[in-house]
Structure 1
């Protein structure tokens, strides 16, 4: 038991130090079975026109060392993968609004656009067919997003949104870590998940009040520590339970769709994370973009 507690303490210290050093909003690790989750959310950014290589995931992972490859025009594979979506959105004047945390902002990607920027570049490569507004803010929790929906700039964009994309909740988890850093127990996450569920319901209610006709897509969590702490089952338990919360809410409302992402990053042989080891890199965001597009075209069609 002493040995186990000692190992846990070491993991907590290492992960905690790494998070606080690498991310603006504090992050830390999970004691009782360490967890450290990436700070989510970023400064409000309109998506840059990033020419990201959204295909070629089977190529060498050395692409991460060749940013020029990631930033040049879409590859043939990418064009083929997105062609159906381009055809789908053409002549629809679709407006997509993204809100949430650092995953929405695109923290970790080479040009800061993330998955939203990749969607923008891919869909509008041959001409503007979909307009995007990105209101991702690094470090945002669900309570902060709930308040930001009242911001006139955000609410005005939402009033005209055909589709709303959301990433939120990772910083709710990190709040538990920060407040209980020296005595972290899984029970603390269970209670916070209940509070998160209530706030998530309020976010959806407010979104539908602002725009009753929009379709809402909630992206799920992934576990960035799977590759390092595979033997700590509690990490997966937390991610699974919080994902289930979002999915359960979505199942109750036809206008809300849950998009899973945990499987996209369950690939120890692929380099999917940025240098901070928490946020996705270009390749990770490419996977997210293709998954989102999959759901958009299937659901909308």
Structure 2
């Protein structure tokens, strides 16, 4: 049932990798066991894609009227000849932290088992919780300590998803920094976000068929990509996240 999901990514390798949507800085990459080239037979039948989206307000699409990055990725997939239909089940909810995702997964195990792709945005509210709880004694070392706890929970989360579905492509969208102007007490906040992302990338590197999508550079020095609340992306910001996600899917590699 899930093997076609690998075929889809292979097809995306052929159909899209030559024309990336955005510029991505190349980093160390590890193939996920897919062939470099794939010839699509004449009798190839387009497939139905099932996506489950988990996470916080970015998955919910707060700040956009069109459903955010999840809806944008769906539209991009529908334009590919290897895809006949895309079904999205979105469990995104504003304010969720990583400790709350386990309950979401347990409540909706069947969709997790049937998914061909699982999209996740999580971590922004965990960072905000640290800020709210330690507003007057924030330090880089405190964030580093909390990140280790977050990374362990993320590892548990991916392991749970893999126990339910060993074939789905799991896509985790990294954090960006909307705090540059609001957290003047922590001049290292940009380094904190980068450190947080590296920890999440390291967790995913231990699992097959996972993709970490770094979007931090998209929003660096681009307040015009934020919604009126200066925290969530606006529709243009979500569109750029979606382009990055689709590009990574097309590359068919782990980053």
TM class by shorter-chain length? Answer: 0.7 to 0.9
Residue 276 to residue 185, structure 1, CA distance change in 2 (3 Å): same
Name the SS of the counterpart of 1:201 in structure 2: helix
Taking only aligned residues, the RMSD between alpha carbons, in angstroms, comes to 2.6
Shift of 1:106: 0.5
Structure 1 residue 245 corresponds to structure 2 residue 199? yes
Residue 106 to residue 90, structure 1, CA distance change in 2 (3 Å): farther
Structure 1 residue 234 corresponds to structure 2 residue 162? no
Partner residue in 1 for 2:232 = 279
Q: 1:218 aligns with which of 137, 148, 172?
A: 172
Shift of 1:263: 1.0
Distance 1:215 1:147 in 2: 21
Shift of 1:120: 2.4
Distance 2:203 2:175 in 1: 15
Matches within 5 A, 1:99-138: 99-111=54-66, 113-124=67-78, 129-138=85-94
Aligned 8 A contact 2:46 2:84 in 1: no
Matches within 5 A, 1:1-301: 91-111=46-66, 113-124=67-78, 129-151=85-107, 154-226=108-180, 233-268=187-222, 271-299=224-252
Unpaired runs of 5+ residues, structure 1, are 1-79, 82-86
Distance 1:119 1:203 in 2: 23
Select the structure with the greater relative contact order (CA < 8 A; seq sep ≥ 6). Answer: 2
Q: Deviations over 1:139-179 (max 9, x none)?
A: 1111001222101xx22111111111111111111111222
Distance 1:298 1:193 in 2: 28
Aligned 8 A contact 1:218 1:258 in 2: yes
Q: Deviations over 1:188-209 (max 9, x none)?
A: 2122111101100000000001
Residue 90 to residue 110, structure 1, CA distance change in 2 (3 Å): farther
Residue 175 to residue 148, structure 1, CA distance change in 2 (3 Å): same
Q: Number of residue pairs matched? A: 211
- State TM-score, norm by structure 1: 0.64
Unpaired runs of 5+ residues, structure 2, are 1-19, 22-39
Distance 1:291 1:267 in 2: 18
Distance 1:230 1:120 in 2: 38
Distance 2:224 2:99 in 1: 32
Shift of 1:227: 6.1
More strand by share: 2
Partner residue in 1 for 2:7 = none
Distance 2:211 2:84 in 1: 25
